[in-house]
């Protein structure tokens, strides 16, 4: 099976994550505050992006997967919205405009697997920000407890799709702690038939490491919070970075 196939993921993305909304208020509020053009990197099927457009934000989006963007566009059409999205890689996207805010929600920065790719992305982001623009992103805090408890074994989850319909997801994450990589294998079952399976790799990033990456990319000021409530550390690192 081909690795990193995001088109393949698109088929089931909304089934699995479509109703996740813990981050939406936060990004909506920040987008409103920015009062300018906003770019969402890795906008996927528009879970957050479409909420911003609905809210009147002048939002643009990029994603590497055409299939994800097709779904986003279909949803936009049904809502009577006009999305400004295009297929592009976060390492090399290019716009003639500069943004007040660039966001990379839902841990998508972790799709950069090497230091080179991480830096390319951050430098490209910085290039596309207005002088007082901000980069806001979140990814998980690599909690050693979680690594001990949940890695290298099957984690089963049941997701309710309709009133009495469930889908079963089995996820197995293999950790390469030295190289800070996770190989995630997912299997989705509907009525006990395997409906879909996929594999992908992500990296995990520590707080001080990301601070060094930000410095190398030319950023000088940032704040990091432990969640979308701007408070203490739980599971997530939420970064607000000034250009």
Number of residues binding to ligand SAM, judged by CB under 6 A? 19
Out of 31, 38, 39, 42, point to the residue binding ligand SAM (CB under 6 A).
42
Contact call for residues 101 and 110 (beta carbons, < 8 A): no
Nearer CB in complex with ligand SAM: 42/214: 42
Nearer CB in complex with ligand SAM: 178/197: 197
Asked if 65 interacts with ligand SAM (CB under 6 A), we say yes
Out of 60, 99, 106, 225, point to the residue binding ligand SAM (CB under 6 A).
106
Neighbours of 19 (CB within 10 A): 11
From the CB of 193, what's the least distance to ligand SAM, in Å? 25
Contact call for residues 183 and 201 (beta carbons, < 8 A): yes
Out of 30, 37, 105, 243, point to the residue binding ligand SAM (CB under 6 A).
105
Sheet of 59-63: strand order equals 84-87, 59-63, 38-41, 99-104, 129-140, 236-242, 221-225
C-alpha distances out from residue 49 to 26, 84, 130, 151, 152, Å: 13, 10, 20, 31, 33
Out of 59, 90, 167, 202, point to the residue binding ligand SAM (CB under 6 A).
90
From the CB of 202, what's the least distance to ligand SAM, in Å? 9
Strand partners, 190: 167, 193
Nearer CB in complex with ligand SAM: 100/203: 203
Nearer CB in complex with ligand SAM: 29/221: 29
Determine the Cα–Cα distance for residues 128 and 97; give it in Å rounded to an integer: 7
Asked if 48 interacts with ligand SAM (CB under 6 A), we say yes
Out of 108, 118, 138, 203, point to the residue binding ligand SAM (CB under 6 A).
108
Asked if 30 interacts with ligand SAM (CB under 6 A), we say no
- Pairing type for strands 221-225 and 236-242 reads antiparallel
Determine the Cα–Cα distance for residues 113 and 87; give it in Å rounded to an integer: 20
Residues found near ligand SAM in the complex (CB under 6 A): 6, 17, 42-44, 47-48, 62-65, 68, 89-91, 105-106, 108, 111
């Amino acid at each position: 099976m081909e690795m990193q196939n995001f088109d393949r993921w698109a088929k089931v993305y909304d089934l699995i994550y479509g109703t996740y909304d813990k981050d939406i208020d936060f990004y909506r509020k920040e987008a409103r505050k920015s009062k300018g053009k906003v770019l969402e990197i890795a906008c996927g099927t528009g879970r957050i992006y479409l909420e911003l457009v609905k809210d009147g934000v002048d939002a643009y989006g990029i994603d590497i997967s055409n299939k994800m963007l097709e779904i986003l566009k279909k949803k936009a059409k049904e809502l009577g919205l006009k999305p400004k999205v295009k297929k592009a890689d976060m390492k090399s996207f290019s716009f003639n405009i500069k943004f007040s805010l660039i966001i990379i929600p839902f841990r998508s920065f972790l799709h950069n697997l090497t230091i080179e790719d991480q830096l390319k992305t951050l430098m490209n982001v910085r290039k596309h920000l207005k002088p007082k623009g901000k980069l806001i992103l979140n990814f998980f805090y690599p909690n050693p407890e979680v690594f001990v408890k949940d890695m290298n074994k099957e984690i089963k989850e049941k997701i309710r799709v309709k009133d009495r319909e469930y889908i079963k997801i089995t996820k197995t994450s293999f950790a390469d702690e030295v190289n800070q990589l996770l190989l995630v294998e997912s299997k989705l079952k509907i009525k006990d038939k395997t409906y879909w399976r996929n594999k992908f790799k992500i990296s995990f990033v520590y707080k001080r490491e990301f601070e060094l990456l930000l410095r190398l990319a030319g950023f000088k000021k940032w704040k990091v919070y432990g969640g979308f409530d701007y408070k203490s550390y739980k599971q997530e690192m939420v970064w607000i970075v000034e250009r």
